[in-house]
Structures are given as structure tokens and as C-alpha cells.
Structure 1
Amino acid sequence: MSIPAILCIGAVQWDLIGHTADPMPAGADLPGRVSRMPGGVAFNIAQALAREGLTVALLATVGTDAEGEGLVRAGMALGLDMRFLHRGGATDLYLALEAEGALVGAVADARALEEAGEAVLEPLRDGRLATEALPFAGTLVIDGNLPEPVLRGLAASGLLARADLRLAPASPAKAPRLAPLLAHPGAVLQLNRAEAATICGADFPTSLAAAEALLARGVARVLVTDGALPATDGCARRGLLQACPPAVPCRRATGAGDAFLAAHLAAEHRGAGREAALAAALAAAAALVSGDVIS
């Protein structure tokens, strides 16, 4: 059995997203369109990496219901390795509303992932992908949808000893869950300014200020985005680097951070330097929010 180079661990679900081009005050009932597509942070990143030609497997949970079978088929059609999924319960769902290209609000029903708990990580222990004695030596992309006890246990285990980590908070509310993993020497934390604020318990005027604060807290490397404003790549060993995203019309919001992380990781896998990798990541996020690509 071949071992994939990258594992994406976290949320796999159906995304149901309502879009309207008009402002949406509370209680509004507006014309627009509703999209239903495979999603979740782990799935979004995995499919973007697969499009870059990388071998990716998912560690997640999907139900044994029709919705879960549909997600498995969708992943396989995209070239994802779906062999290691935990199966059980009802498939998770994400419901969001976007207006004028910005997120108005969302609800993530992640009960299946929460109930699965440590079972999602079993392939890293039972020899299918790795064991405690011989940990996985590739790249692990971990998102903040995993329950906090699972993330604490993962950080305390030896399963991450040889891994290159890419950490995606998933939302400002879930960002603090990743705290146990932030001191890992191979961790790259990718987040936006609002997520940095919840991790640090302080507001930041710029992505640069947020990156400096996270480096001061012991994060080895951090990538902070700030919408249309400059993004920052902060590295404890190589200092700070900034770049501006391309100016594009904003038609959608969901998945921009996932596109950024996947493009950055793929660029570095190809040997790109910091400047080129940051530019590629910003371009990918801009393409998604402008509607030029469908995730």
C-alpha cells in the first residue's frame, strides 16, 4: 500500500452556501443563488493540492448515509485517497450566507467529527500510515475543526515527531483549539488577522503586527492574511516578509484561506522561495474570491 505525501486531517462535509449580491440586514429575504458542494477545510485543501499534482489522503469522518457516500465518490473523482476515512453517524454539514462577496454568518454542524474523536487519527497509530514508534514523516495539514481534546492528545503524543505541520484554524472561534500545536518546531500556522487576534487575545492593526506577536509566542513560522491588505510571512529564523494580494472584485468568501494554504504548500513542495510561495498563495486566494475558480 503506497503512503501519500500529504495528509489533510479535519473537516469533510457538504457545504451549503447562499450568495446574494445585495446587502443583507438581519431578517432579510433576498434573491440569490444557493450552492451545494463537497467542502470542509481538510477537503478543500486536499482537492486544491491534488489539482497541483500532489498525492493527498484525507483523515476525517463521513457518515454511512447517502451524503457520506457522495463525498467519498466526489473525493475519489478528484484523485484524493479516501482509504483512511472513519465512517459512522450522519455526515457533517456547513451552512453559510454570503452577501456582496463577504461572509455574513455560518453554522458548522460537525457532530460526526466531534463524536469520532481520536478514531479519526487511528491510521497514524495502527500501521496503515504510521505508528507511535515510526511516526509519519510527510506533511500533515491539520484544521481547527478537530475537537480540542483530540488536538491536545495529538500534541502530547509522539505522532508528530517527524512531521511537517501546516495548521489551519478554520475560523476565529476555533483558532484557539490549535494552541497545543503551536510550539511544534515544524509547524507553519496559516491564519487571518481575526484568527490571530483570538489566539493572542489582542487586536492587531496589521498582519505584520499579528505575525510579530505570534513569533514572540514561540511559533516557528506564521502566514497572516488580511483580506485585500498586505499579508505577512513571519519566520523565527528568517525574519518577516510582506506582499500585497492582487486587486480583484470580491464575489465570494468561503474557502479563500484554504486556497491560500494549498497554493503556498504546493509552491514550497516545488521548491519555490518565500517570495514566490507567498505570491502564489495570494494569487490563488484572489482567484477564488473573484469567482475565477470553483472549489
Structure 2
Amino acid sequence: MTTSPACPVVAVGAIHHDTIAHAREPIRPETSTPARLSARPGGVATNLARALVRLGVPTRLVGALGDDGAAQALTGQLEGEGIRLAVRTRPGFVTGQYLALHGPSGALTAACVDDRVLAEAPPDLFDGIIDELLGTLPKETIWFVDANLPEAMLVRLGARLGSHRLIANAVSDAKAPRLKPLLGDLECLMLNRGEAAALTALDRETAPEALASALAQTGLRRFVLTSGAADILVLDDGTISRFTPQVTRIVDVTGAGDALMAATIAALARGTTLGDAVPYGLAAAALTLASTGALAEDLSWDALQSF
């Protein structure tokens, strides 16, 4: 049981307005499919921040928004959930939008994203925010970045954060390579099999064990490598360990990886080792898979400790 107070976390990355469709029958091209649609905040950093506040971690979210109604709605909801926002508004841009289509099993069929508000941002967009937070937050604060940030911005943030604790998420196969300049500076990298293949230039069908071995040669000190429902491979102190996901009824795969990441970071923020933190992540992923949407309604630190 881990009951120590959590250190702060600063999450820097995507703030999106998500539209999620859950089809009642297989999705077919060139025609409409009956579905249930819902809208909610999204983006890796946002999903992390929303989960962390439920897990009792003081959290700040740094990101970019457009000057539109979606920005106003997101700001109100996220602040209402207890997240401290530090955002830059970019006139002329729309707030990030994400559209996901899920089949009847809950599996993701297709997704599209419009993230120009962040993808086309100048590297120094968050300099003032970061400098202010560095001057006020304790040294043990965990800083998190997602690969939705442009590579030049990631490099700039890595340089400004220096020796501070820095954790990253690879986000997607296409965006994972943006993190290459930072690999040696990370406390931990969270990624999946496809993202690992993109970082190591190996084939996507390469066995997870081989991907883990290749990742260990990139300068990473720690990583958490997921592969769908298969075992999770964790590098810590030069040793690769294996963790088995908990069996659960799958309602919706949306957010399971983000939940695993958030609960793992919440445990790290309470002073655990990575090996002791991952089981909390697995419990959070199981709770999320069994619910609809990116954030399980019953997610809490007490729930994870008794899961």
C-alpha cells in the first residue's frame, strides 16, 4: 500500500476536444452506421492530467487552445475537475479536435486529428509558463511531455528542464521519433509496440522482447512498453521485467493506455520504484477498459489500492 503524499506533476502537451463514436454494428465505408456519439476533453497530456487529479496528485496542464467555443468549454470543464491550467491562446487557430470511430467490440476502427494549434506552434510558445513554474515548484516535481509537441519544442523544453524529472509518452508511430533527441534525458518513456518500432527502425511485427532489447540500446534508462493485451515489458536499472495485464471485460479501449500511464506516474509521484508503480497502472487500465470513455468514473487512488 502506498499512502505517501504525491509530489506535483506538470503535464505539457495536447488539449483536444474529442468526439467518440461507438458503432452498434460493423463500420462500413461509404455509408452511415448507427452509433452512440459522445464529446469530452482529450489529448494525451489532458487525459493524464484528468486522471492524476482523481488519483490525488496536484496537477498543472500546459497546452495551446484556439480562440473558439471549444476552448471556452474545455477550460471550464478542466478547471472544474481541479486541474490548474496554464494555456496559451492562439488567435486564428481552432482548438485541437480528435474524432474516433469504434466498432461494436470497442476496438478502434479509425481516427482523425486536427492538431495544428500545437503542431504549428513556435518552439518558444511555453517558455514563460515553464520558467514561472520552475521558479515556484519543488525540485521533485515530475514533468511530463507528450510527442504531440513539435520536435523543436520538445528539444527546447528538455534543455530548459535540465536535470529535473522528465517523463514522456510517444503518442503514435508517426510522432514517436520526435522524442529521439530526449531519450537519454528521460526518467521514463511510456510507449507501445508500434511506437517502439518507429523509434528503433525495426519492423512493427518484431517481437516485443526484441523491441525492448533495442530500446535498451537507445540511451533510455527506463521504459514501459505495452503490446495490446500481451505482457508489458519494463526496463529499470538495466533489467527488463514482465508484467501481465489483468483480465477484464472490455467495453471501450479508449484511454486504457493513458490510464496505465497516469496511475504509474501517480505511484512514482508517491515515491515508489517503477517496478512497484506499474501494477497500479495495470489496475487503472483494467478499470478503464471496463468503462466507456477515456476516464473511468470510479477511478481513485483508494480504488487502485483495493483493486
What is the TM-score of this pair, normalised by structure 1? 0.88
Output aligned runs, 1:229-244, within 5 Å. Answer: 229-235=230-236, 237-244=237-244
Rate the CA distance shift 1:171–1:266 in 2: closer, same or farther, 3 A. same
Is the deviation greater in 252-261 or in 206-215? 206-215
Q: Give the CA deviation at 1:224.
A: 0.4
Q: Which runs of 5+ in 1 are unaligned?
A: none
Q: Give the CA deviation at 1:135.
A: 10
Q: Secondary structure at the match of 2:123?
A: helix
Residues 14, 146 of structure 2: 8 Å contact kept: yes
Is the deviation greater in 20-29 or in 61-70? 20-29
Residue number in structure 1 paired with 2:119: 114
Greater RCO (Cα-Cα under 8 Å, separation 6 or more): 2
Residue number in structure 1 paired with 2:3: none
Cα distance in 2 between the residues matched to 1:275 and 1:149: 32
From 40, 62, 65, give the equivalent of 1:62. 65
List 4+ stretches of structure 1 deviating above 6 A.
none
Residues 206, 226 of structure 1: 8 Å contact kept: no
Residues 251, 292 of structure 2: 8 Å contact kept: no
Whether 2:184 is the aligned partner of 1:183: answer yes
What is the TM-score of this pair, normalised by structure 2? 0.85
Rate the CA distance shift 1:248–1:120 in 2: closer, same or farther, 3 A. farther
Rate the CA distance shift 1:137–1:272 in 2: closer, same or farther, 3 A. closer
Rate the CA distance shift 1:200–1:258 in 2: closer, same or farther, 3 A. same
Q: Which runs of 5+ in 2 are unaligned?
A: 1-6, 296-307
Deviations 1:242-295 (A, max 9, x none): 111011232222222211111001112223344431111112112212217752
Residues 252, 292 of structure 2: 8 Å contact kept: no
Cα distance in 1 between the residues matched to 2:235 and 2:133: 31
Q: Secondary structure at the match of 1:140?
A: strand
Cα distance in 2 between the residues matched to 1:267 and 1:293: 23
Residue number in structure 1 paired with 2:134: 130
Residue number in structure 2 paired with 1:256: 256
Q: CA RMSD in A?
A: 2.2
Rate the CA distance shift 1:98–1:292 in 2: closer, same or farther, 3 A. closer
Q: Give the CA deviation at 1:50.
A: 0.7
Cα distance in 2 between the residues matched to 1:119 and 1:273: 33
Cα distance in 2 between the residues matched to 1:224 and 1:79: 30
Residue number in structure 1 paired with 2:42: 39
Q: Secondary structure at the match of 1:29?
A: coil
Residue number in structure 2 paired with 1:290: 290
Q: Give the CA deviation at 1:106.
A: 1.1
Whether 2:178 is the aligned partner of 1:173: answer no
